[in-house]
């Protein structure tokens, strides 16, 4: 094997936006040689590249064959796959709710321990106060540093809120390791520790990431089926008892789950999981759906609404069960807010100008926060670029110490923070449902330090008390709280810890809004208004100004308070704050994606795109393949380019379909060849895959036949026209390299599965062919990583399932970091590969003269990975290109900076 990584970069792998990916002056004719690469990239660019996902359904000769067996509707009018989708949706809701419960319970326990230690030193003198300060700072320091160390060393993808990454993934960008189990558990522990450390962060954003990880993880069944097969081979009696035999109920159910192992289904479950995470964070089932639709998901079909509603409702119901109160069903829930005026409608209309004014200030503050955060985060990234993790851990330690010092010393600095304690029955200071809010902290007996109560206790309870009645706090306390946490959040969010922004933003907005309400009440014209209303709209204004979500934000607040009378103030405030903020910059999550160079494609189409054609933006010099190619030609194409999609042409040059890189690698590594003259049909065609895969599925479902039949017997069953065999029919096992001789499709279940466009499936072959494949063979992966695997003894007649386990195991959605160099033995170089049998016969194509706006909408709305461009129409550059492949469009070609560079847009 040659050294890795290769120098070329995939046509659908995107780097930073500072360098143009394609030379606009390239020739216009399509390349006839498969050796040409159609992109010129800066090889010294160290910006991470990202693979694209393909959310479209793949159809080929197998799926379109009339002989392909279709699943029957056996369960109340639905197929088993539909039942599995609904079952996994319920599981996603339960698991997301359970994860939220664990996070809430753990944070509460750690916060209670810190508060208990502080209360023990409240009545002491200066010596006890100093000990309390040391303990408070050390406790917060330890939790924050441990969270940072775990995240940086175990799973760096667990840092931050994760919402920009979820948005990028659902837009079609594969971010490696983001939804892995290691990232998932590290995110849970890191979120608990960082929130409990007293830093200005919250758990709501990470819950969106965790919910998406749960949803995506439900579509990865490779390890589960591997365990079933291990149990079946090592403990057959236990396997039969658990339904893990070849025809057992557990095996069949997992087989149905395996049908969901593709990018399209995974996208749907990640969207559902993200909605469940957001719903459990705020106790807003409808708000979770709207958040996933408005803020996170790029593709949210209407058929998912019902399933998402069931999942979000179940997640919030789990929280309600934990609290034992159906009115408290979220990590952060808002109590109902009472207003002193009965004439609510009249007062809302007279106060509309003030709501618009608060929305304006919220938009301005949010825009200023986003601008500063972008500057600081960019500076932070450049500073740590060539430095180790100790520097980033040191930053977290410094932030923790500074935060602890400010939170501890500010309540000691002024006398106005001490107020007379009230009874809970008076509905004054103890205005929330809890009776534990309040800390004496260096005040006299029967007094409460209101600033310490906000700083030391639960942030959720502090928000509830401020929203309930901000007038019970001194306005200076609210102002200091809002300004302090705004500054701390600006520096803390984005540091090397798992962190969310929702809870501190609501605390800041409610504090500043409550302060504004108290001040405005001193004006005679507004003396009768409610300060609680302004505290609520202040939180909405700041959320809208920072995050720029409008619809979901309104519904979240309505569901949280249960008060529809606040609809008009909330709508006016959020719309104005979003509009004002958009005048200056993007929302916080869009800025996060820009800083991380995620190649995100907006659904907004620039109006000038109507005046340009896709031919001006496409990449030319396309690498094409013939329907039947020599193995040496395919080997050269795979090694000399790093494209992931290749148009397939007939002998006359007409476009037939498109084939993926992993399909070609599978064919060469499995030595699936045909006999015949070069360029001939060689037995290829629609019936090849269909007949082979159908027989394979029948053999896989019959345990007795599979046990008694070896490779030779299965090959003998195939008709002469099914698949041509190479010169050698012998199956050779190599203990170091696995199976490396010639096999037909019948003896390669993995080839049949990957030919249908799905991730590799265990046991049976899916008949719908939906989705995109998910990676390369483990044999290549083992070569890259220097590993080895066990195979059956040479004298043991192997079944196709044994070969499948030991040689052709594809990991779920596993895209390798580097492109392996494909090697074909000298004897096989002149043999032919039937590409037509496995290619996708339903790719999306447009004419070269198609308006850029139409092609852009097609690419983004469907979620394409490749868009083939055919010559035709007036204005074509080369005569005779009608109906011929003249270009290819991928994600990199449609990036805004790229289009502006090539089209000279302003």
Tell me: pLDDT of 738 over 70.
Answer: no
* Residue after which a domain boundary falls, among 554, 576, 595: 595
Task: Tell whether the model's pLDDT for residue 251 goes beyond 80.
Answer: yes
Measuring CA to CA, how many Å separate 635 from each of 69, 647, 828, 833, 853?
34, 16, 11, 11, 37
Mean pLDDT over the full length of the chain: 77
Strands 625-626 and 645-649: parallel
For the chain, what percent of residues have pLDDT higher than 70?
A: 72
Q: Which residue has the higher pLDDT, 644 or 812?
A: 644
Find the domain containing 809 and state its range. 658-834
Q: Within a domain: residue 605?
A: yes
Domain for residue 114, yes or no?
A: no
For the chain, what percentages of helix, strand and coil (3-state, to nearest 5) are there? 55, 5, 40
The pLDDT value recorded for residue 901 is 85
Residue-wise pLDDT for 651-697, tens only, equals 888 999 999 988 888 888 878 888 654 444 333 333 344 444 444 34
Residue 39 confidence (pLDDT) above 50: no
pLDDT given for residue 518 in this prediction: 93
Q: Is the pLDDT of residue 313 over 80?
A: yes
Q: How many separate domains does the chain show?
A: 3
**871 and 790: one domain?**
no
* pLDDT tens profile 818-860: 455 778 888 888 999 999 888 999 999 999 999 999 999 999 9
Domain limit, last residue, from 813, 834, 855: 834
Could you tell me if residue 724 is inside a domain? yes
Residues 480 and 579 in one domain: yes
Question: What is d(CA 345, CA 124) in angstroms, rounded to the nearest whole number?
Answer: 52
- Residue 226 forms part of a structural domain: no
Angstrom distance (rounded) from CA 748 to CA 727: 17
Q: How far is Cα of residue 717 from the mean position of the Cα atoms in its chain?
A: 45
**664 and 524 within one domain:** no
Q: What is the pLDDT of residue 876?
A: 52
Let me know if residue 522 belongs to a domain. Answer: yes
Q: Is the pLDDT of residue 502 over 90?
A: yes
- φ, ψ at 537 (rounded to 5°): -70, -25
Cβ atoms of residues 666 and 209 within 8 Å: no
Mean pLDDT calculated for residue range 344-363:
81
Give 565 or 580, the one with higher predicted confidence.
Answer: 580
**CATH assignment at residue 380:** 1.10.3080.10
Report how far residue 81's alpha carbon sits from residue 88's, in angstroms, rounded to the nearest whole number.
Answer: 10
Average pLDDT over residues 271-281: 95
Q: Going by C-beta distance under 8 Å and a sequence separation of 6 or more, which residues neighbour residue 749?
A: 696, 700, 765, 800, 801, 803, 804, 808
Question: Which pLDDT score is estimated for 563?
Answer: 75
* CA-based end-to-end distance of the chain: 47
Q: Residues 826, 855: one domain?
A: no
Task: Find out whether 714 and 747 touch, Cβ atoms under 8 Å.
Answer: yes
Q: With contact defined as beta carbons under 8 Å apart, do 267 and 170 qualify?
A: yes
- What's the whole-number mean pLDDT along residues 549-570? 85
In sequence order, what DSSP letters do the residues of 684-747 get, joined into one string? -SHHHHHHHHHHHHHHHH-HHHHHH--HHHHHHHS-TTT----S-----EETTTEE-S---GGG
The pLDDT score that the predictor gives to residue 124 is 57
pLDDT of residue 422: 64
296: tokens are 């996170």
What value does the mean pLDDT take over residues 261-268?
Answer: 90
Per-residue confidence (pLDDT) for residue 117, from 0 to 100: 84
- Flag whether pLDDT at 403 surpasses 90: yes
Residues 673 and 784 in one domain: yes
The residue out of 784, 806, 834 marking a domain boundary is 834
Lowest model confidence (mean pLDDT) among 242-251, 294-303, 341-350: 341-350
Inform me whether the pLDDT recorded for 396 exceeds 80. Answer: yes
CA distance 639 to 410: 64
Which pLDDT value is given to residue 676?
Answer: 52
Classified as helix, coil or strand, 183 is helix
If asked whether residues 739 and 753 sit together in one domain, one would say: yes
pLDDT at 896: 87
Looking at the fold, whether 672 and 793 belong to one and the same domain comes out as yes
Q: How confident is the model at residue 83 (pLDDT cuts 50, 70, 90)?
A: confident
d(CA 441, CA 446): 11
Cβ atoms of 201 and 195 closer than 8 Å: yes
Co-location of 479 and 378 in the same domain = yes
- pLDDT score of 599 more than 90: yes
Same domain, 781 and 730: yes
The reported pLDDT for the residue numbered 816 is 38
Assign 437 a pLDDT band (cuts: 50, 70, 90): low
Six-digit token string for 166? 């979820």
Render pLDDT for 58-68 as a digit per residue (tens, 0 to 9). Answer: 787 777 777 76
pTM attached to this predicted model = 0.81
Res. 402 pLDDT band, cuts 50 70 90: very high
- pLDDT of 421: 73
Same domain? For 485 and 376 the reply is yes
Q: Among residues 217, 196, 218, 210, which one has the least CA distance to residue 100?
A: 210
Which whole number is the average pLDDT over 782-801?
Answer: 38
Please report whether residue 353 resides in a domain: yes
pLDDT of amino acid 752: 46
pLDDT band at 797 (very low <50, low <70, confident <90, very high): very low
Residue predicted with more confidence, 385 or 372: 372
Tell me the CATH number at 623: 3.90.1280.20
Domain co-membership, 786 together with 870: no
Q: Tens digits of per-residue pLDDT, 743-788?
A: 333 334 444 455 444 444 333 333 333 333 333 333 333 333 333 3
- Rounded CA gap, 322 and 330, in Å? 10
Phi/psi at 46 (5° precision) = -95, 5
| 335 falls within a domain | no
* 696 and 823 share one domain: yes
**pLDDT for 187:** 97
Report which listed range, 501-505, 714-718, 861-865, is most confident.
501-505
Q: Give the pLDDT band (50/70/90) at residue 20.
A: very low
Q: Note whether residue 678 is domain-resident.
A: yes
Identify the burial level of 289 via C-beta atoms within 10 angstroms of its C-beta, where 0-12 means exposed, 13-18 middle and 19 or more buried.
buried
């Amino acid at each position: 094997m040659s050294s890795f990584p290769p120098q070329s970069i995939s046509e659908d792998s995107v780097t930073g936006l500072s360098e143009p990916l394609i030379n606009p002056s390239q020739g216009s004719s399509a390349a006839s040689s498969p050796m040409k690469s159609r992109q010129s990239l800066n090889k010294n660019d160290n910006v991470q590249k990202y693979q694209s996902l393909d959310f479209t359904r793949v159809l080929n000769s197998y799926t379109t064959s009339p002989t392909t067996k279709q699943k029957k509707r056996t369960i109340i009018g639905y197929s088993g796959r539909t039942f599995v989708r609904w079952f996994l949706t319920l599981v996603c809701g339960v698991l997301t709710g359970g994860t939220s419960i664990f996070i809430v319970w753990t944070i509460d326990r750690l916060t209670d321990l810190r508060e208990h230690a502080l209360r023990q030193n409240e009545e002491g003198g200066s010596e006890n106060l100093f000990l309390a300060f040391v303990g408070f700072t050390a406790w917060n320091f330890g939790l924050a540093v441990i969270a940072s160390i775990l995240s940086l060393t175990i799973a760096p993808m667990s840092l931050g809120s994760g919402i920009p990454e979820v948005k990028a993934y659902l837009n079609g960008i594969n971010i490696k390791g983001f939804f892995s189990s290691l990232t998932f558990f590290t995110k849970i522990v890191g979120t608990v520790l960082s929130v409990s450390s007293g830093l200005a962060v919250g758990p709501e954003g990470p819950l969106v990431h965790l919910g998406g990880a749960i949803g995506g993880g439900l579509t990865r069944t490779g390890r589960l089926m591997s365990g079933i097969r291990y149990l079946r081979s090592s403990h057959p009696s236990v396997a039969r008892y658990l339904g893990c035999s070849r025809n057992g109920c557990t095996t069949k159910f997992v087989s149905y789950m395996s049908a969901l192992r593709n990018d399209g289904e995974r996208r749907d479950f990640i969207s559902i999981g993200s909605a469940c995470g957001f719903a459990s964070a705020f106790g807003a089932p409808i708000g979770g759906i709207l958040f996933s639709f408005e803020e996170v998901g790029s593709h949210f079909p209407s058929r998912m609404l019902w399933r998402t509603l069931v999942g979000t409702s179940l997640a919030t119901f789990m929280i309600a069960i934990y609290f034992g109160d159906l009115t408290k069903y979220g990590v952060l829930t808002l109590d109902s807010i009472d207003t002193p005026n009965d004439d609510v409608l009249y007062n809302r209309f007279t106060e509309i100008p003030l709501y618009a004014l608060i929305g304006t200030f919220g938009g301005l503050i949010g825009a200023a926060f986003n601008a500063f955060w972008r500057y600081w985060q960019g500076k932070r990234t450049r500073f740590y670029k060539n430095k180790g993790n100790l520097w980033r851990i040191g930053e977290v330690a410094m932030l923790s110490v500074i935060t602890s010092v400010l939170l501890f010393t500010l309540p000691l600095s002024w006398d106005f923070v001490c107020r007379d304690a009230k009874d809970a029955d008076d509905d004054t200071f103890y205005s929330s449902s809890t009776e534990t809010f309040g800390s004496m902290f260096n005040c006299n007996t029967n007094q409460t330090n209101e600033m310490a109560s906000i700083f030391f206790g639960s942030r959720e309870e502090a928000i509830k008390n401020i929203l309930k009645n901000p007038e019970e706090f001194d306005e200076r306390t609210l102002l200091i709280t809002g300004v302090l946490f705004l500054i701390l959040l600006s520096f803390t969010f984005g540091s090397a810890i798992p962190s969310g922004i929702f809870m501190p933003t609501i605390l800041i907005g409610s504090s500043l809004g409550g302060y504004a309400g108290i001040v405005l009440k001193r004006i005679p014209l507004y003396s009768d208004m409610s300060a609680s209303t302004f505290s609520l709209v202040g939180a909405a204004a700041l959320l809208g100004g920072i995050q720029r979500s409008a619809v979901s934000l309104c519904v979240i607040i309505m569901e949280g308070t249960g008060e529809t009378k606040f609809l008009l103030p909330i709508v006016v405030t959020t719309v104005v704050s979003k509009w004002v903020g958009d005048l200056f910059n993007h929302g916080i999550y869009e800025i996060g994606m820009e800083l991380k160079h995620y190649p995100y494609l907006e659904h907004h189409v620039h109006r000038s795109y109507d005046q340009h054609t896709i031919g001006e933006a496409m990449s030319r010099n396309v690498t094409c393949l013939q329907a039947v190619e020599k193995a040496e030609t395919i080997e050269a194409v795979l090694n000399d380019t790093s494209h992931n999609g290749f148009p397939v042409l007939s002998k006359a040059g007409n476009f037939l379909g498109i084939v993926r890189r992993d399909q070609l690698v599978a064919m060469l590594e499995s030595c699936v060849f045909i006999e015949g003259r070069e360029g001939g049909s060689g037995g290829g065609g629609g019936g090849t895959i269909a007949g082979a895969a159908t027989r394979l599925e029948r053999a896989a479902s019959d345990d007795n036949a599979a046990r008694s039949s070896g490779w030779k017997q299965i090959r003998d069953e195939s008709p002469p026209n099914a698949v041509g065999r190479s010169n050698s029919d012998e199956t050779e096992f190599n203990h170091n390299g696995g199976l490396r001789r010639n096999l037909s499709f019948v003896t390669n279940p993995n080839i049949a599965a990957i030919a249908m466009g799905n991730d590799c499936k265990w046991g049976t072959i899916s008949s719908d062919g939906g989705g995109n494949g998910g990676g390369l063979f483990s044999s290549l992966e083992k070569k890259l990583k220097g590993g080895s695997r066990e195979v059956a003894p040479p004298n043991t007649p192997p079944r196709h399932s044994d070969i499948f386990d030991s040689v052709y195991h594809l990991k779920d959605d596993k895209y390798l970091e580097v492109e392996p160099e494909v090697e074909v033995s000298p004897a096989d170089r002149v043999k032919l590969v039937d590409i037509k049998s496995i290619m996708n016969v339903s790719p999306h194509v447009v004419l070269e003269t198609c308006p850029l706006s139409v092609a852009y909408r097609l690419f983004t709305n469907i979620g394409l990975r490749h868009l083939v461009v055919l010559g035709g129409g007036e204005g074509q550059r080369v005569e005779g290109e009608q109906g011929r492949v003249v270009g290819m469009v991928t994600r990199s070609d449609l990036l805004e900076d790229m289009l502006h560079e090539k089209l000279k847009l302003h």
